[in-house]
């Protein structure tokens, strides 16, 4: 126990006594409060006096009254302790201290102080530029083979590279870690020629062995195992050449190699000493290298040897700020904070902001692989009719933007959005012979998800349907055994830069919420369409096939689409190179700071 904790025990006991006012106290009282011997109590008091926390005038003789005065208030002590924890990069501990012991005024003051620590920091001597911004949760799982959420995918892109790169503006595939590639007439054999001299962040040169290791370790273990399972063999005829052989034509492979899951990792994850912590402290070849990643903050620094050119920013710090929106003192704008994402963005502000409608949708699935009332199409149709999307968007607000008729945005503005009819919904509930049993609606932990799930539960109650909301960490929800227990799942899918590949994985992966809830008949239909997709070189033609799947799922009421969200970020006008990617994030390697005197 440190001096601050000892002082806090004593000060709390005499909380009503003003600072600097002398009070009488016996040594026996002190030893009882500190739960220690008389000798140790005296050592503690001496240390507190040396630190300037209090004045102690001992009484002469055992049992004699001593005198003591306090110099620091509880609130000042806690605030100083919390600030010290922040300076020691222990933000998580600082929040715990403030939340457990602080008053509302103290929380407001701490929040205001913390906000002033964020933004762009620039040292005049070294001209190092550091970008600090808040985010509501840590991101400890950054192994590209396992990423499941958009934020993790975004960080993976800052740390790693892929063999090929998809240009979303030109809609074409460009060289990445591979400078050239070729294939046979059947699209079942692909060869890639690697760049020479590309180094991982720990100094090792990237070779074909690293590429081979990257793909072999993912077979049967990841959300994309379905495509890796099609690889018949991987050969490395040279240090900078690698061949992939498929059992059947695979025209999708080059496009798939552009996805974050195919980010190249070092052989054996950098060695035994690094493999254990690889998910939190990954090693890539990308524009930034990981320095620190824990419950309090994530720190990246520029990769000076990056083969595509060093980033302009020297360092990026993401400070974990739980419930940033809910903090009473959080009122500073993006201009002050430099960069604010999504829910942390403020309404009606004058600083520059970026926004776009998200390509993807929040949706509900019914578990058609499990016995229960959800097998009845009248019941599924009733839930669809009884959920008023416009009311949901209006009441819940946030970044919910417009009712959705599918994953792809092209259907967002259509006039045939699901019609709300509560009376008809109740009639179909009755016709389905629903018996009043409670159904389990599963979703993953995220405040906005939980709000939507609770809203759906309340609306279903109006229809006479009992829904029990179960929230789980997303990695647990992706377990097929867990999904099998759910009657419904509410989730969101954000389509990446190549929307067809995101949908291919959504419909194919054994970790997919949606695929796990398909009936055997629907599974067969989906698989037949996907087989055709895999041999189709045109992304437009693949999308047509994938839209057929979507329409089939809608007509069977296996999937109910809810809403599209708005992606938003606000930033200081000094920040240049700002653009939102498909996940609503900003690629930091493009950011640079235009200083006031240059404007």
In tens, the pLDDT along 370-393 reads 999 999 999 999 999 999 999 999
Q: How confident is the model over 280-314, as pLDDT tens digits?
A: 999 999 999 999 999 999 999 999 999 999 999 99
In the predicted structure, residue 326 carries a pLDDT above the cut 90: no
> Is residue 123 included in any domain, yes or no?
no
In the predicted structure, residue 514 carries a pLDDT above the cut 70: yes
Q: How confident is the model over 188-206, as pLDDT tens digits?
A: 999 999 999 999 999 999 9
> Is residue 84 included in any domain, yes or no?
no
Please report which confidence band the pLDDT of residue 63 belongs to, taking 50, 70 and 90 as the band edges: low
Whether residues 438 and 547 share a domain: the answer is yes
> How far apart are the C-alpha atoms of 495 and 303, rounded to whole Å?
29
> Is residue 485 included in any domain, yes or no?
yes
> How far apart are the C-alpha atoms of 34 and 265, rounded to whole Å?
53
> Is residue 334 included in any domain, yes or no?
no
CB count in 10 Å sphere of residue 185:
7
Whether residues 364 and 282 share a domain: the answer is no
Please report which confidence band the pLDDT of residue 428 belongs to, taking 50, 70 and 90 as the band edges: very high
Which of 30, 55, 72 terminates a domain? The answer is 72
Per the prediction, the chain carries an average pLDDT of 88
Which of 260, 286, 312 terminates a domain? The answer is 286
- The stretch 561-578 carries a mean pLDDT of 88
User: Minimal CA–CA distance to 429: which of 463, 472, 470?
Assistant: 463
Q: What is the pTM of this model?
A: 0.82
Whether residues 372 and 275 share a domain: the answer is no
Spell out the residues 6+ positions from residue 185 whose beta carbon is closer than 8 angstroms to its own: none
Whether residues 180 and 64 share a domain: the answer is no
> How far apart are the C-alpha atoms of 478 and 222, rounded to whole Å?
11
| Total domains present in the chain | 3
CB count in 10 Å sphere of residue 536:
17
- Of 60-64, 230-234, 272-276, 588-592, the poorest mean pLDDT is in 60-64
CATH number at residue 415: 3.10.105.10
> How far apart are the C-alpha atoms of 418 and 343, rounded to whole Å?
27
Whether residues 382 and 526 share a domain: the answer is yes
Which of 47, 72, 97 terminates a domain? The answer is 72
Please report which confidence band the pLDDT of residue 5 belongs to, taking 50, 70 and 90 as the band edges: confident
CATH number at residue 18: 1.10.10.10
CATH number at residue 160: 3.90.76.10
Q: How confident is the model over 497-508, as pLDDT tens digits?
A: 999 999 998 998
pLDDT value, residue 331: 46
Token code pair at residue 152 = 């993790």
User: Minimal CA–CA distance to 9: which of 51, 39, 53?
Assistant: 53
pLDDT value, residue 518: 95
Task: State what percent of residues in the chain have pLDDT above 70.
Answer: 91
> How far apart are the C-alpha atoms of 534 and 529, rounded to whole Å?
9
Please report which confidence band the pLDDT of residue 223 belongs to, taking 50, 70 and 90 as the band edges: low
How would you label 420-443 residue by residue, b for 16+ Cβ within 10 Å and e otherwise? beeeebbebbeebebeeeebebbb
pLDDT value, residue 123: 66
Please report which confidence band the pLDDT of residue 221 belongs to, taking 50, 70 and 90 as the band edges: low
> Is residue 229 included in any domain, yes or no?
yes
> Is residue 452 included in any domain, yes or no?
yes
User: Minimal CA–CA distance to 307: which of 175, 145, 497?
Assistant: 175
pLDDT value, residue 478: 84
Of 352 and 489, the structure prediction assigns the larger pLDDT to 489
pLDDT value, residue 574: 82
CB 446 within 8 Å of CB 492: no
Please report which confidence band the pLDDT of residue 484 belongs to, taking 50, 70 and 90 as the band edges: very high
- Name the residue range of residue 432's domain: 360-566
> How far apart are the C-alpha atoms of 216 and 268, rounded to whole Å?
11
- The stretch 217-244 carries a mean pLDDT of 84
Please report which confidence band the pLDDT of residue 396 belongs to, taking 50, 70 and 90 as the band edges: very high
3-state helix/strand/coil string of 88-140: CCCHHHHHHHHHHHCCHHHHHHHHHHHHCCCEEEECCCCCCEEEEEEECCCCC
Of 122 and 336, the structure prediction assigns the larger pLDDT to 122
């Amino acid at each position: 126990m440190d001096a601050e904790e000892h002082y806090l025990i004593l000060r709390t006991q005499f909380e009503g006594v003003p600072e600097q006012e002398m009070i009488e106290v016996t040594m026996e009282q002190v030893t009882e409060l500190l739960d220690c011997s008389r000798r140790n109590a005296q050592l503690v008091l001496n240390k507190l006096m040396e630190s300037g926390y209090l004045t102690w005038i001992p009484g002469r003789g055992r049992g004699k009254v001593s005198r003591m005065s306090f110099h620091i208030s509880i609130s000042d002590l806690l605030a100083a302790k919390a600030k010290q924890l922040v300076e020691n990069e222990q933000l998580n501990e600082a929040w715990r201290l403030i939340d457990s012991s602080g008053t509302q005024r103290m929380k407001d003051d701490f929040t205001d102080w913390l906000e002033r620590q964020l933004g762009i920091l620039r040292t005049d001597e070294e001209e190092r530029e550091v970008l600090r911004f808040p985010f509501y949760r840590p991101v400890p799982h950054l192994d590209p083979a396992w990423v499941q959420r958009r934020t993790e995918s975004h960080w993976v892109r800052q740390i790693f590279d892929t063999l090929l790169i998809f240009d979303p503006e030109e809609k074409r595939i460009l060289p990445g870690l591979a400078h050239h590639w070729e294939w046979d007439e059947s699209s079942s054999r692909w060869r890639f020629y690697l760049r020479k001299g590309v180094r991982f962040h720990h100094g090792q040169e990237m070779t074909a062995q690293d590429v081979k290791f990257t793909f072999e370790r993912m077979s049967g273990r990841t959300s994309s195992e379905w495509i890796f399972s099609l690889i018949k063999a991987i050969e490395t005829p040279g240090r900078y050449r690698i061949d992939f052989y498929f059992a059947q034509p695979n025209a999708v492979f080059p496009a798939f190699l552009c996805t974050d899951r195919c980010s190249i990792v070092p052989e054996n994850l950098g060695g035994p000493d690094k493999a254990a912590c690889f998910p939190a402290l990954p090693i890539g070849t990308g524009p930034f290298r990981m320095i620190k990643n824990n419950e309090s903050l994530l720190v990246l620094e520029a990769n000076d040897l990056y083969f595509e050119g060093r980033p302009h920013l020297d360092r990026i710090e993401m400070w974990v700020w739980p419930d940033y929106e809910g903090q009473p003192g959080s009122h500073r704008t993006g201009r002050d904070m430099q960069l604010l994402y999504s829910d942390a963005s403020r309404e009606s502000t004058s600083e520059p902001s970026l926004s776009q409608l998200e390509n993807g949708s929040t949706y509900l699935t019914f578990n058609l692989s499990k016995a229960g009332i959800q097998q009845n199409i009248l019941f599924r149709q009733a839930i669809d009719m009884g959920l008023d999307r416009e009311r949901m968007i209006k009441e819940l607000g946030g970044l919910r933007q417009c009712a959705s008729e599918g994953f792809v945005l092209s259907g967002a503005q259509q006039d045939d959005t699901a019609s709300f009819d509560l009376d008809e919904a109740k009639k179909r509930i009755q016709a389905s012979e629903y018996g009043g049993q409670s159904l389990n609606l599963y979703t993953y932990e995220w405040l906005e998800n939980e709000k939507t799930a609770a809203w759906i539960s309340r609306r279903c109650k109006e229809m006479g349907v009992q829904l029990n909301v179960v929230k789980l960490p997303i990695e647990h929800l992706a377990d097929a055994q867990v999904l099998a227990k759910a009657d419904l799942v509410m989730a969101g899918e954000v389509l990446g830069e190549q929307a067809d590949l995101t949908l291919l994985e959504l419909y194919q992966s054994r970790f997919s919420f949606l695929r796990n809830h398909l009936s055997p008949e629907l599974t067969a239909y989906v698989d037949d369409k996907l087989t055709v997709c895999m041999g189709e070189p045109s992304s437009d033609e693949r999308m047509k096939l994938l839209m057929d799947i979507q329409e089939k799922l809608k007509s069977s009421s296996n999937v109910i689409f809810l809403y599209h969200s708005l992606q938003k970020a606000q930033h200081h006008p000094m920040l240049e190179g700002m653009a939102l990617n498909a996940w609503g994030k900003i690629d930091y390697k493009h950011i640079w700071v235009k200083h006031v005197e240059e404007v």
